[in-house]
Structure 1
């Protein structure tokens, strides 16, 4: 058995629920900051950590490197090329070294739900595991984490079983996201999100029914906004506050601080997102052709279990 999240102590009142692909839990679909890609053909869930990939490049390159390069450009405009040489020799390595280190290291491959072939893929240390979607079931466990600092914190895990390709006797239970801070209702809602995608997708409404519009899906994915969009969101909040206040005393100190700080942090956030995106695209090449071919619009429709 393999768990993406470390095993946690559970109390005696642990409750376990079996969730099935063809049965509704009664909850509305809910995305829990786990979906990395929601496309017409496959759903990718982040797995294995490294969610902050690109942060080092953003901090060193966005804050330090870009600042030094900017100073160098100012020096060049003033004809002070000695300053330009010095700042470029510091700023460029501050940007390139962490960028190369974070993009050349492969990201953990995501958990893939393929709508076309109706199956699940998972990579474990370079070995391919899979499961047909039809007939699949998930195990949801609700428990409490108890500690002197956190007190009693309710948590719930959500796991599915996959089997090794061409070795079906070898199976893993994989966690669909970390259980910390999640309730049973939240995990049921996330299972409904996956069910709606696989059974009625690629787009669906708040009840999980098929929809030609992607409005509900976008609203769910927008709950985790990009950090680089923070300045735009602040301006939108200020505009709304101005309308509500009739133009009188609408600008708070909190808004002023955000207007000053967020533009400074924009290069860091933008570079972090760019670095993560490049690392993710490079990591896709690690999937075997059996998987990548089936993710294409015109790829094979046979399931891996059929090949076995």
Structure 2
């Protein structure tokens, strides 16, 4: 049986460095000049079904149909097209019409954070915010000891400040306290010194470091490019000798076959994400624009409270 081993709570602040360098933990969905969006609520693999059915099955059927048309066998073309097109459209519509969970938004312009919980808007100002991190271990006979660390912030319901939530900034599993501190530094650097910063969190006019962090995330559509780069380097290191391994040869054959699936998956996810943005209330969307209002939601609450008095 797994038993957690608790450790003391660590408090992280907006205006105090953790001593770690900024690091992105594969959950930043968008890093723009105005806001930072963190994936929340799962569905990270949205579009995979469309990619599998449309990218492999659908493309195969459409290819057979084109081959039949070239050979004048139009009955085969009609049959394969009637199967291949629904293989793509059915999962595509199902995955894009279902809303994605809205991300956690860090608005750099207004210095506040937004979170959607079951259609209800929660928020908190960045000024004075604290994050709570707890490091713990899960121990089991089969898995041994696994180090984990959570990272959470508190947000309040808009116009109902008596209702609060603790929001997790990504899953804690497999993350150490040092990694979570580094991710908090990434957020701190963005909100305090951003939108772009260097490896020490200091403001930078260049987006080189930020792009290097975001580029670490694995994308299936880039795997063939990485394989070619690795083979090119192996050829250079071998000095003209036999450098192509059996696994590299297999990847050269298989990866182009899976490329359509990866691209369709990424395209489907981007469409679903774009559609989901419309679920934010106008109070949020107008503040994400470069020329939008700079008043915080907490300021609106204060104004409304003063007006009621």
Provide the TM-score with structure 1 as the length reference: 0.96
Give 1:43's aligned residue.
36
Deviation by residue 1:60-109 (Cα, 9 ceiling, x = unmatched): 11110111011101101111011111111111111100000000000000
> What is the CA–CA distance in structure 2 between the aligned matches of 1:148 and 1:277, rounded to whole Å?
41
Q: Let me know the Cα RMSD of the aligned residues.
A: 1.0
**Quick check: 99-108 or 221-230, which moved more?**
221-230
Which residue in 2 is equivalent to 1:185? Answer: 178
Distance 2:13 2:71 in 1: 68
The answer for the alignment partner of 1:86 in structure 2 is 79
Q: How does 1:265-304 map to 2 (within 5 A)?
A: 265-304=258-297
Deviation of the 1:9 alpha carbon: 5.7
Aligned partner (choices 131, 136, 140) of residue 143 of structure 1: 136
> Is contact 1:162-1:171 (8 Å) kept?
yes
Q: Which residue of 2 aligns with 1:117?
A: 110
Distance 1:254 1:305 in 2: 57
SS in 1 for 2:4: coil
1:243 pairs with 236, 239, 249, which one? 236
Decide which moves more: 250-259 or 101-110: 250-259
> For residues 276-301 of structure 1, what are the alpha-carbon distances to aligned partners after superposition, in whole Å with 9 as ceiling and x for unaligned?
00000000000000000000000000
State the 1:37 CA deviation.
0.3
Asked whether 1:159 is paired with 2:152, we answer yes
State whether residues 54 and 275 of structure 1, in contact with CA within 8 Å, keep that contact through their aligned partners in structure 2: yes
Deviations 1:188-236 (A, max 9, x none): 0000000000000000000000001101000000110321111111111
Corresponding residue of 1:10: 4
Query: Aligned pair count?
Result: 300
Q: Secondary structure at the match of 1:15?
A: strand
**Is 2:48 aligned against 1:55?**
yes
Q: Which residue of 2 aligns with 1:107?
A: 100
- Offset at residue 148 of structure 1 (A): 3.2
- Contact residue 15 and residue 143 of structure 1 kept, 8 A: no
Gaps (5+ residues) in structure 2?
Answer: 302-309
Structure-2-length-normalised TM-score: 0.95
Alignment match, 1:4? none
Distance across 2 between alignment mates of 1:147 and 1:292: 46
CA drift at 1:15? 2.7
Match of 2:305 in 1: none
